[in-house]
Amino acid sequence: MTKSSPLAGTARSALDGLIGPARTQRLESARPLGDAIVLEGLAKTYPDDTAAVRGISFRVAAGESFGILGPNGAGKSTTIGMLGTLVKPTAGRAWVAGFDVVAEAAEVRRRIGFAMQQAGVDDFATPEELMILQGRLHGLRKHEAAARAGLLLGVMELAEEADRRLATLSGGTKRRVDLAASLMHLPPVLFLDEPTEGLDPRSRSGIWDTLDRLRSRLGVTLVLTTHYMQEGDRLCDRIAIIDRGRVVAEGTPAALKAAVRRDATLEDVYLHYTGRTFEDTRVAA
Amino acid sequence: MNAPAQALLLAQRALVQFPRNPILLGFSVMPVLIMYLVFGGLFEGVAELPGFPTENYFEYLAPTAILLATVPGIGNAGVALAADFQSGYFHKLLTTPTSVGALMLGRLLGDCLRLAVQASLVLLLAIALGAEVATGVPGALLMIVMGTLLGIVTFGAISANLAIRTRDAAAVQAIQPMAFLLIFLTSAYQSADHIDSGVLRTIIELNPAEHVLRPMRELMLSGYDWGGIGIGFLVIAALGVVALPLTARNYRSAYS
């Protein structure tokens, strides 16, 4: 795995500033976890009879980085939406941080951060305001929220944009703000739906580096969806390849590739298990 | 953090958000002020009809202008809600431990304050044009409260539900003219006694907005008609009992 870091020195030190005091705080409030996430036969059929997810089961260990890889329309966003309590499953069960995503949705929400595929930001707010509100809604006091927003703005290299309206910022910058807002309460589980979609390579690399450090220093469990093979390779300890609402393969990137052939890529793995290339499925979608 | 505290934070957000959209801000107040001036000038002669309750038509028109500020004015809240869906921000809020009730109440509180300010501006213009509020400041506040609540339980609920269902700001904007109908089909511009058409008088009598407008006008022109005020609040409560649970249900449906 490439671990080169484009994270600027100031951002790196801001991240350390965030992690130092926050680590103790978060770990104190965390519930002892074995598997951070458990899915058992989770399924979703929408009212128009579209079966988006058709019975998915997997487990994600605490502190693990787990990727849900698949083309557009495979059911990735629905799956992560169910785990993030946004979408109600029609069958099966799932637990996040030890809590049932349906019966104990409020408890789940206290323990997750969720960065949306479509950057979920208020265009009339500034990044700082948005982040402070997010922190306050998670129960942080005003001064705590302001201090943490300042640190996270530094971590995400957003300090210069802190007071600008989000409407005036680029799509990539909005996504970084969304990610920063998702981290305001230092959640033990972080869901990222296509976290670097639409970002330039430098921004993408910066986010990867930040996620690496958050995970290694804070023990954050990451679940991300992506259709970028490189992202799956770079960020994930394990990957589930999903196609037409079903998991067709699951394992470490290395094991998945080795099972196909010695020099295989994740693209080859996808082709092997589905009989189609990513490009085919994109055209079909 | 408890639900009321979350609602206050979200109300604050709604209040900060609104003035940052100059088009929305301008178009929610200016048309009402212009309509008030134009209709007041055009129909000034109506006040000379025998039995008309006041000699100053702007005085008669002031409660109507308050309703024009609050009922169509609240439609902008639906537009803002639809914009939150379109931007994905509403779903971001749904992933926080914020209750659906707090999400709804927060917007409601913010909009109530905004509408009250808009209605006050209209009333100040009326006073500047020589109108007098017979019941003074308390009566003026009561008029503003009634107008604001009517806006919330009628077009506020309609636009919010439409925003949640369609998630399309343009669709919410498209139905805004309907809000004017609710007010035009009252004794807004002419006392019911001076309207010849029996059909129109029946429609006016059946229009819930009429039963809120009437006591407001009494507050403006003569005094406290407690019976009428009671009926006005009963109408608002009855509409609220239907509209608010329906809106809450639709808010919850945002979790698909």
**How many angstroms separate the CA atoms of A52 and A46, rounded?**
7
Tokens of A103: 């019966």
CB nearest A120 (choices: B9, B91, B98): B91
Confidence of residue A187 (pLDDT cuts 50, 70, 90): very high
Tokens of A92: 């099966």
Q: What is the pLDDT of residues A104-125, one digit of tens each?
A: 999 999 999 999 888 789 999 9
Residue B25 pLDDT more than 90?
A: no
Partner B contacted by A126 (CB < 8 A): no
Q: Rounded mean pLDDT of A44-52? A: 93
Please list every residue in chain A whose beta carbon sits closer than 8 Å to the beta carbon of residue B88: 116, 118-121
Number of domains in chain B: 1
**How many angstroms separate the CA atoms of A205 and B149, rounded?**
52
Residue A185 pLDDT more than 80?
A: yes
pLDDT of residue B96: 94
**How many angstroms separate the CA atoms of B191 and A96, rounded?**
63
Residue of A nearest to B2 (CA): A139
What length does chain B have?
A: 256
**How many angstroms separate the CA atoms of B187 and B204, rounded?**
7
Separation in Å, CA of A93 to nearest CA in chain B: 16
Residue A250 pLDDT more than 90?
A: yes
Confidence of residue A25 (pLDDT cuts 50, 70, 90): low
Are B115 and B66 contacting, i.e. CB atoms less than 8 angstroms apart?
A: no
Residue A61 pLDDT more than 50?
A: yes
Partner A contacted by B256 (CB < 8 A): yes
Q: What is the pLDDT of residues B53-80, one digit of tens each?
A: 888 899 999 999 999 999 988 888 888 8
Q: How many CA atoms, within 13 angstroms, populate the side-chain half-sphere of residue A272?
A: 15
pLDDT of residue A21: 54
Q: Do A165 and B20 make contact, defined as CB atoms within 8 angstroms?
A: yes
What ipTM was estimated for this complex? 0.84
**DSSP helix/strand/coil, A247:** strand
Q: What is the CATH number of domain A9-25+34-111+187-284?
A: 3.40.50.300
Q: Rounded mean pLDDT of B222-239? A: 96
pLDDT of residue A24: 47
Q: What is the pLDDT of residues A189-214, one digit of tens each?
A: 999 998 888 778 887 888 888 788 77
**How many angstroms separate the CA atoms of A223 and A146, rounded?**
27
Tokens of A7: 């994270």
Identify the H or E element spanning A268. Answer: helix A266-274
Partner B contacted by A123 (CB < 8 A): yes
Q: What is the pLDDT of residues A206-236, one digit of tens each?
A: 888 878 877 877 788 999 998 888 888 889 9
Whole-model pTM: value is: 0.84
Please give the residue range of the domain that contains residue B103: 3-252
CB nearest A114 (choices: B21, B83, B95): B95
Angle A179-A112-A78 (CA atoms, 0-180°, nearest 5)? 85
Q: Do B89 and A109 make contact, defined as CB atoms within 8 angstroms?
A: no
Mutation target to probe the B interface, by most B beta carbons within 10 A, among A137, A166, A190 is: A137
Domain boundaries, chain A: 9-25+34-111+187-284
Residue A83 pLDDT more than 90?
A: yes
